[in-house]
Chain A
Amino acid sequence: MTMTTNQERQYETAARYMDGEKVPLDTEEEAIVKDYSDDEKAVNPKLDAEMSSRESRRIRKKVHVLVRNLPRRTLRAFIIGLIVAIAFLLILWSLKYFKQGRRFNDDAGNQGIEHRTGKANIDNVD
């Protein structure tokens, strides 16, 4: 919906008036206010949603349960967060030791080859 600058200004003044500001209205702005009020008064009663007492009670009970269970929910979220954090740290720690262990094995393996090679050379001398 595109409006001219003049229409935009008229609607803005009408909106400010309906928001409670004391702004003078010209005849066109008055017509907008009247037309809008008519439409609002015709549609608003249809929008209202009546709540039965049973529904109202059920909603209130739901709010009660939600609010009362909040500390438990917070505690549960904290415990889950803690478990996830510990698991993550364990994975990081095990990765670190896995790498260290591999380096150790590699070093030991290399030493073994050197040892065997040395022995082989000695054998050759003999």
Chain B
Amino acid sequence: MDQKKLSRIIAQAKAGDTAAYESLMAAYQARLFGYFLRATGRQHDAEDLFGELVLRLVRNIKDYDEQGRFEAWLFRMAANLNRDRIRKLKARPATLSLSNGRDEEKSIGRNLPAAQPDVDAGLLSEELSLELHEALARLDDVTRDMILLRHFGEMSFKEISKEFHCPLGTALARIHRGLKMLRKFMNIPEGTR
């Protein structure tokens, strides 16, 4: 979407035009959904966060001053939502995992009769590479978010360093180290593109 058209749609959205919101979300839908899907690893969590983002967009669009990039602003909101979700998950009381990591034979879940197949497991195997999901889960929250915002939000290092309150060099070093770890976890050999 070119800048002129985007500015016009944002102005319409600020005036309360519901069709403008739909146009905005349609333009960034795939990337935002991709971001949420990779950040959460679960289809329905991604959909919930996406819905929440739409509501936040409507609530906050008046605060957008058109100085910075709209995409960066939108993805910052998405990152905040994701951070809130992680905070809520961490605040929950600890539960016993039914699948005890790599020790599948000893896991509790394996010994329980399955009443229904896990819907998410099917979706994950189909469209979300389990290997990638596991690799992303092994990264720390900040590094994972930085990589995802760089990829899906097309954020510059400057925007990322501002978002995470860290020096510019640290942002690049952190993302670089994260990419190297992902490459190692997923066994992507050197020279592969």
**A residues in contact (CB < 8 Å) with B:** 1, 3, 7-12, 14-16, 18-20, 32, 35-36, 38-44, 46-52, 55-56, 59-60, 62-64, 66-68, 70
Contacts and interface: CB of A to CB of B under 8 A. Distances in A.
Contacts of B156: 19-20
A12 B167 contact: yes
Interface in B145-193: 147-148, 151-152, 156-158, 161, 167-177, 179-180, 182-183, 186, 188, 190-193
A49 B128 contact: yes
Contacts of A41: 193
A49 B157 contact: no
A32 B171 CA distance: 13
A43 B157 contact: no
Contact of B173 (A3, A43, A64): A3
Interface in B125-147: 127-129, 132, 147
B37 interface: yes
Interface residues on B, range: 35 or more
9 contacts: A12-B169, A35-B176, A38-B191, A43-B147, A47-B147, A49-B37, A55-B33, A59-B47, A63-B54
Given A43-B179, A51-B34, A15 B54 contact: no
Interface of B: 18, 21-22, 25-26, 29-30, 33-34, 37-38, 47, 50-51, 54-55, 58, 127-129, 132, 147-148, 151-152, 156-158, 161, 167-177, 179-180, 182-183, 186, 188, 190-193
